[in-house]
Amino acid sequence: MTLNRISQENQPKPSQRLPVRVRRMIHGDGSVETSLSAFCPARARGVALEDCLHCADSAGLSIEGAGEDAFVRCTVQGVGALESGSKRSGAFRLAFGAELTPVREIMTRDVTCVTPDVSVENLASLLLERNISGVPVVDPDGRPIGIVSKTDLLRELRNQGDCELVEPLRCRVDGIEAELEPGFHAENVVRATIGDVMTPVAFSIDETETVAAAAALMAGEGVHRVPVISCDDGSVVGIVSSIDVLGWLARQHGY
User: Is position 178 within any domain?
Assistant: no
CATH number at residue 152: 3.10.580.10
User: Is position 163 within any domain?
Assistant: no
59: containing domain: 15-156+192-252
pLDDT tens per residue across span 119-168: 998 998 999 898 888 999 999 999 999 999 888 888 877 776 544 444 55
* Cα 142 to Cα 234: distance, rounded to the nearest angstrom: 8
Using only the alpha carbons of the chain, give its radius of gyration: 25
User: Is position 244 within any domain?
Assistant: yes
pLDDT tens per residue across span 166-188: 455 565 555 566 565 565 555 54
pLDDT tens per residue across span 56-106: 888 888 887 655 688 998 988 644 434 444 444 455 555 457 788 999 999
- Sheet hosting strand 134-138, strand order edge to edge: 45-48, 32-40, 21-26, 110-114, 134-138, 144-149
User: Is position 151 within any domain?
Assistant: yes
Nearest to 214 by CA among 132, 101, 136: 101
User: Is position 169 within any domain?
Assistant: no
* Cα 166 to Cα 185: distance, rounded to the nearest angstrom: 10
- Count of the separate structural domains present in the chain: 1
Half-sphere exposure of 237 (CA within 13 A, CB side): 27
